[in-house]
């Protein structure tokens, strides 16, 4: 009997299927930094069409304003010359940890009242921290230096080299803030003497102002309010900010 002929008549034997293992998916690493053009596209991209009731309209307007504040914070951080002295990976790590601090600092000095927008989250502590920061009435130079202090946090350093850079940036910003506050106090009083020659009362005003600014940063760094911000900006931050 011709075995080969029989096999050909029956057709080729089926090959045993070997189950291939799917390659393990690697976790996707998201880059926190977005280019200015990308940020602008996020800002200008229209929301999907939806029916908006009168009750939802103010809520949408409030969220738009909060997103605008967050966009401004990110842009300013990207353009900050001091912050650019550290590596991009280091900047990503820092921003993942301090974005909410930058947001509150900016929101508290926003030209439009943000209280109605923040009230929608129902977190009294968030309102309190914004109100307390607002009482500083910091000018543009003070806000800029406070931003550098927030962005120069050695505790978030990824290695020794970056830690040294951050520590240097931090110390320089503290010194610049102290000098600026002292000069600002002198100018407000029409006093042209050097800081070393100040009277005790004027010196105390300088120290008090300097201390209040640093203490405000301490309150921001506690992050008790961050979960509320996440809820306020949930849909937008889940896509843009690596919060996990």
For 138-182, what is each residue's pLDDT tens digit?
999 999 999 999 999 999 999 999 999 999 999 999 999 999 998
- Residues in contact with 30: Cβ distance below 8 Å, sequence separation at least 6, in sequence order: 242
Q: Is 230 helix (H, G, I), strand (E, B) or coil?
A: helix
DSSP 154: G
C-alpha pair distances (Å), 42 with each of 35, 36, 145 = 11, 10, 28
For the stretch 190-219, pLDDT in tens is 655 555 555 666 778 888 999 999 999 998
C-alpha pair distances (Å), 46 with each of 49, 56, 68, 117 = 8, 17, 14, 20
User: What is the C-alpha to C-alpha distance for residues 168 and 173, in angstroms, rounded to an integer?
Assistant: 9
- What pLDDT was estimated at residue 206? 87
What's the mean pLDDT in 58-65?
78
Answer whether 228's CB lies under 8 Å from 121's CB: yes
- What pLDDT was estimated at residue 147? 97
Of 130, 127, 139, nearest in space to 108 by CA: 130
- What pLDDT was estimated at residue 233? 75
Q: How many CB atoms lie within 10 A of CB 18?
A: 6
pTM (2 d.p.): 0.72
Structure tokens at 179: 């000098």
Name, of 21-35, 112-126, 188-202, the range with top average pLDDT: 112-126
pLDDT band at 97 (very low <50, low <70, confident <90, very high): very high
CATH of 57-234, one of 3.40.50.720, 1.25.40.850, 1.10.565.10, 3.40.50.10300: 1.10.565.10
11-20, 77-86, 110-119: range with lowest mean pLDDT: 11-20
- What pLDDT was estimated at residue 4? 52
For tokens 């800081």, name the residue.
195
């Amino acid at each position: 009997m011709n075995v080969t002929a029989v096999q050909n008549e029956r057709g080729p034997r089926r090959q045993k299927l070997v189950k291939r293992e799917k390659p393990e998916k690697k976790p996707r690493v998201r880059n926190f930094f977005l280019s200015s053009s990308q940020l602008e596209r996020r800002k200008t991209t229209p929301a999907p069409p939806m029916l908006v009731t009168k009750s939802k309209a103010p809520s949408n307007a409030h969220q738009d304003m909060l997103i605008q504040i967050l966009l401004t914070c990110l842009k300013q951080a990207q353009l900050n010359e001091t912050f650019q002295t550290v590596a991009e990976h280091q900047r990503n790590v820092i921003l993942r940890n301090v974005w909410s601090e930058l947001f509150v600092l900016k929101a508290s000095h926003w030209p439009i009242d943000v209280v109605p927008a923040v009230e929608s989250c129902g977190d009294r502590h968030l309102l309190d921290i914004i109100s307390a920061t607002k009482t500083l009435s910091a000018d543009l130079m003070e806000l800029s230096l406070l931003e550098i202090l927030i962005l120069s946090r050695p505790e978030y350093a990824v290695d020794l080299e970056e830690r040294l850079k951050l520590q240097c940036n931090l110390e320089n910003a503290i010194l610049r803030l102290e000098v600026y506050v002292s000069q600002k106090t002198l100018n407000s009083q029409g006093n042209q003497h050097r800081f070393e020659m100040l009277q005790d009362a004027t010196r105390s005003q300088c120290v008090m102002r300097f201390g209040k600014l640093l203490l405000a940063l301490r309150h921001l760094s506690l992050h008790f309010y961050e979960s509320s911000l996440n809820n306020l900006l949930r849909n937008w931050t889940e896509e843009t900010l690596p919060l996990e």
